[in-house]
Structure 1
Amino acid sequence: MKIRFGYVSTAITLWDASPSKTLTFTRYQQLSKQARTEKLLELTKLNLAHTLRMLYFNLAHEIEVYRLSSSLVPLATHPEVFWDFVTPFKKEWKEIGDLIKKHRLRVSFHPNQFTLFTSPQTKITDNAVIDMEYHYRMFEAMGVADTGMMNIHIGGAYGDKVTTIARFHENLKKLPSDIKRSMTLENDDKTYNAEETLLACEQETVPFVFDYHHHMANLCEPPLEELLPRIFQTWDQVDLVPKIHISSPKGDKEFRSHADFVDLEFIMPFLKMVKEFGQDVDFMIEAKAKDQAALKLVEDISKVRGYKRVSGAAIEVK
């Protein structure tokens, strides 16, 4: 079996490479009409250029798994701003997409915590659909809508999980079917545990992005060994190996916070468990040190008997 490793958004090894440079709506309002347009175009062009830098960095280090920044386009979903961020940058979007396709890179988005389908407020659900449409439109502009995935959480419990989960399934009907096909769900560190998230994934036929750190912070009754086969099966309908989020606690008192790097001792029980199943997986590293944490974890694991490094960011498990 093979494990590939990736990271989130920004390669901190690179100088000034953030792909998430933004503009507040307050600042936007202070600008003239022409200055507003110029600023939106300037920041988006810079974010796309930095994304391209990141992709070339990833290729140089053989990193095949990467989460794109959700903030590539400033104020893209603001109700008073909505603007065409595709047409002015057709060349840039295509260049990014061509690189992704040529090297068969696995890319994803993770819309923010406000992208909710559990809220009793219609406006919040409508905004969630708008946000998902924004992310999907970026995939379309890159030409990778058939392989790119968008990961979200179920959301809040609002004091009644049974009613809320039912509302989640009902609200999700508002999401266009082509966008829903690109959606994944992730378990929470406080609210919806792995078992609850898995049930939602199975009902909606969407893949489950299992987060090991969240699971350890929010355990469910069935042992993980029983859930993993079903978790892996949720990926059967898409041509992708299961993706798993990996991080470790900042400390005992800050157990839910992500540390700068990943503690091998913390994840080793899970590594051994995955090894037993022999299932290829992709690990998305959610550590503060981002690319450096991903590459260090590859190096750390490669020193363990039975784990052989086969590329810059991949391990073969024997």
Structure 2
Amino acid sequence: MTRYGYAAMNVTLREENVRTNRGMQKATFEERGLDYVGELAEKNCQGLKRIVEWNLDHDIHYYRIASDLLPWFSRYDFDDLPNAAEIRCLLEEVGALAREHDMRLTFHPDHFVKLASNKEDVVERSVTDLENHGVLLDAMKLSRTPYNAINIHIGAHYGDKEATGERFCEHFQRLSPAVQDRLTVENDDTNSLWSVPELIDAVHDRIDIPITYDDFHHQFTSRGLTRREALTDAAETWETTPIIHYSESRRLHEADPSIRPQNHSDYVAGPIRTYGTNADVMLEAKQKELAVLRYRDDATST
């Protein structure tokens, strides 16, 4: 049965100041150090637990965790934090809730992660960021499978797609099993970038990682495939329940041609089709859990 999820912020709980993304500027980090980092990280993880509990109360069993749980995580090791034990305990509690209630928890590191870059410093930073996501999922004791995915984009072609695909696969070998075994890659929303069939050829067929199908992005990189064809091809790369992303254009919802076509709407109208794949659907709508609840309610009432 298809599950609908959302990413990062819970709009309802934000009104109670429940957050998972407390951070700081670089100057503050350098001035206040790991004591303050730990304080914010612990509050973020408390917020994560509260959101997971809220999701379970509202029968939402799919959630994408914000990547900035631990501020400036690239600058220290987890156990360097003075309250690492308390934070680890909170993460274990979140993981226990997820396992007990079969809630799917995933990550989507930001666009600065460019594993296929031709610049070594960018690759090193990308590897560090991905490894930190693996550390967090391991701390939650969640599966080292794409069920608990770390989803990224290749996100560039550097003037030579074939060489870029080869670099991605080469740099993939630098990742630990905590990341390799969870990594997925997603089609892009720009025609010159990566489509589902290109990702299957360049990545899946070489290193056997799954392809996350983004329905909205497919409109910009269809390569002549229908939605059914692209989704089905992507779903066949998964050995566990596939993930698809779904969003709609704010330009169409608001009938405003001045809005960038790729901008996401607040809610979605659907219908969302999974074409028999039973994929889990990440709703990338601006109103987050409210969009999930509205769509789910509308779908069951029709």
TM-score above 0.5, yes or no: yes
**Cα drift, residue 294 of structure 1:** 1.1
2:198 pairs with 1:196: yes
Equivalent in the alignment of 2:114: 116
Aligned positions, number:
286
* CA positional deviation for 1:88: 4.3
Contact 1:151 1:185 in 2 (8 A): yes
Alignment-derived partner of residue 170 in structure 2: 170
Compute the displacement of 1:55 (Å).
Answer: 0.6
Task: State the AA in 1 paired with 2:63.
Answer: Y
Amino acid at match of 1:153: H
The one of 28, 36, 39 equivalent to 2:36 is: 39
Q: Secondary structure at the match of 1:245?
A: strand
Structure 1: distance between partners of 2:178 and 2:7? 25
Match of 2:223? 220
Rounded Cα–Cα distance in structure 1 between residues aligned with 2:194 and 2:153: 8
Match in the other structure for 2:62 = 65
Kindly indicate whether the alpha-carbon contact (under 8 Å) linking 1:136 and 1:145 is maintained by their aligned counterparts in 2.
no
Residues 24-47 of structure 1 show CA distances to partners (whole Å, capped at 9, x for unaligned) of 21222233xxxx232111101110
Q: Does 1:150 align with 2:150?
A: yes
Distance (whole Å) between structure 2 residues aligned to residue 88 and residue 4 of structure 1: 31
Measure how far apart 1:174 and its partner are: 1.3
Structure 1 partner of 2:9: 10
Partner-residue secondary structure (3-state), 2:112 = coil
Q: Is the 8 A contact 1:245 1:283 kept in 2?
A: yes
- Contact 2:196–2:211 under 8 Å retained in 1: no
Corresponding residue for 1:292? 290
TM-score normalised according to structure 2 size:
0.89
Instruction: State the AA in 1 paired with 2:31.
Output: Q
Question: Which is further off, 284-293 or 192-201?
Answer: 192-201
Q: Does the 8 A contact of 1:217 with 1:255 survive in 2?
A: no
TM-score (norm 1): 0.85
Q: Residue 89 of structure 1 corresponds to which residue in structure 2?
A: 87
CA contact (8 A) 2:138 2:178 kept: no
Note if 1:48 corresponds to 2:45.
yes
State the AA in 1 paired with 2:100.
K
**Percent same amino acid at aligned positions?**
28
Kindly provide the CA deviation profile for residues 232-277 of structure 1, in whole angstroms up to 9, marking residues without a partner as x: 12112xxx3111101101105421011111132xxx3x62xx34xx
Distance in structure 1 (CA, Å) of the matches to 2:103 and 2:229: 31
Q: Which moved more, 1:21-30 or 1:206-215?
A: 21-30
- Once the 2 structures are TM-superposed, how far is the Cα of residue 290 of structure 1 from its aligned partner? 0.4
Alignment deviations for residues 147-183 of structure 1 (CA, whole Å, 9 cap, x no partner): 5210000121112222222222222221123421111
1:212 deviates by: 0.2
Q: CA contact under 8 A between 1:6 and 1:66: conserved in structure 2?
A: yes
1:256 aligns with 2:262: yes
Moved more, 150-159 or 193-202: 193-202
Mapped contact 1:117–1:172 kept (Cα < 8 A) = yes
CA 98–83 in structure 1, closer or farther in 2 if over 3 Å, else same = closer
Show structure 1 runs of 5+ residues with no match. Answer: 305-318
CA contact (8 A) 2:42 2:86 kept: no
Other-structure match for 1:27: 28
Give ranges in structure 2 of 5+ residues lacking alignment.
252-256
